[in-house]
Structure 1
Amino acid sequence: MSTLEQMYQQVIMDHAREAHGRGLITIDAAGTGESHQLNTTCGDEVTLRVGVDGDTVSAIAWEGHGCSISQASVSVLAELLQGESLATADETIEAFRALMQSKGEHLDEEREDLLGDATAFVGVGKYPARIKCALLGWMALRDALAQARAASSAGAAPEVSEGGQA
């Protein structure tokens, strides 16, 4: 295993052990959304709440269980995107999806810079069964953000979405 692969493995294990954003807290924001996603292939699941104030992801909180890849991935996204603009969140979600579809190849420097620690999941793209694990939290975030945007513009309470496979 190369030094870079060891570093990536360490990032994933650190986030799996010391998860950022874990704990479903009540979020006080102009718009909130919640999504529950389940990977029926392996049983990984996550419930993610997000708050949006104006053009900013003001809060991300989640709870879930599953493999270290699924749990570390949602931890990384929480650390990476809380406090960022909605445009940055959308761009980062798409960059992570591209990383998962890259079959283990690195992305261009600009998208890898955007992904930060999420770049550590590049090797997951070599294993199609594990891609769903890594994407689980990101799909929950995408769904919850859509709800939060709608709630923010309508001034309504969020609906809880029950998602399927990532």
Structure 2
Amino acid sequence: MSGLEELYQELILDHSKRPHGKGLLGEEDDPHAAESHQRNPICGDEITLRAQVSDDGDRISAVSWEGSGCSISQASASMLTELMVGRSRAEAGELIDGFREALRSRGAVELDEDVYGDAAALTGVSRYVARVKCAMLAWVALEDALLRA
């Protein structure tokens, strides 16, 4: 394993042990928030994600979540939380699309650390098809929640 792969593995483990955004914020009936529950039936990972948007509905003001599962799914949710707060819906959509493309590429597309921050550490997951859904779970939940918000 290369030094970079070891660093990425440590980063994933750190996010899974000390997750950002864990614990649902706000109220379910908040008109500026929407929730999405996603489950990976293959491995049992689950997440409920709540996205809160600004009064004008364009910016993500908060992302919080509750979930259980493997270190990849939990770390991915934590990384997503850090990355998305303050982004516009359009920016979030582009990031989600790029993340999906990289994870489906089987290693052909790498995530840019300058764009994706800590989530770039998940690039290597694309080589393990069975783990892609684990990493995508929170991203799919955010995409769904933003459609509802």
Gapped regions of structure 2 (runs ≥ 5): none
Instruction: Give the letter aligned to residue 102 of structure 2.
Output: L
Alignment-derived partner of residue 90 in structure 1: 93
Is residue 20–residue 81 contact of structure 2 (8 Å, CA) maintained in 1?
yes
Counterpart CA distance in 1 for 2:123 and 2:142 is: 20
Kindly indicate whether residue 145 of structure 2 is the aligned counterpart of residue 144 of structure 1. Answer: yes
Deviation at 1:84, TM superposition (A): 1.4
CA distance in 1, matches of 2:31, 2:131: 35
Shift of 1:107: 3.1
Q: What is the Cα deviation at residue 113 of structure 1?
A: 2.6
Moved more, 131-140 or 98-107: 98-107
- 4+ aligned runs moved over 6 Å, structure 1: none
1:90-121 Cα shifts (integer Å, max 9, x gaps): 11101110110121234375xx5321211101
Shift of 1:37: 0.3
Give the letter for the 2:34 counterpart: G
Q: Secondary structure at the match of 1:134?
A: helix
| More displaced stretch, 84-93 vs 56-65 | 84-93
- Pairwise CA distance, 1:31: 2.1
Alpha-carbon distance in structure 2 between the residues aligned to 1:19 and 1:78: 9
Larger RCO, structures 1/2 (Cα 8 Å, 6+ apart): 1
Task: Give the Å deviation of 1:7.
Answer: 1.2
Q: Which residue of 1 aligns with 2:10?
A: 10
1:43 aligns to what? 44
Identical-pair percentage: 53
- Counterpart AA for 1:74: A
Over the aligned positions, Cα root-mean-square deviation in angstroms equals 1.6
Which residue in 2 is equivalent to 1:75? 78
What is the rounded CA distance, in whole Å, between the counterparts of 2:63 and 2:118 in structure 1? 17
| Secondary structure of the corresponding residue to residue 139 of structure 2 | helix
Partner of 1:133: 134
Count of residues in Structure 1 that have an aligned counterpart in Structure 2: 146
Q: 1:155 maps to what in 2?
A: none
Q: Please tell me whether the aligned partners of residues 76 and 138 of structure 2 are also in contact (alpha carbons under 8 angstroms).
A: yes
Native 8 Å contact 1:30 1:52 kept in 2:
no
2:137 and 2:3 map into 1 onto residues whose CA distance is: 27
With normalisation by structure 1, the TM-score equals 0.83
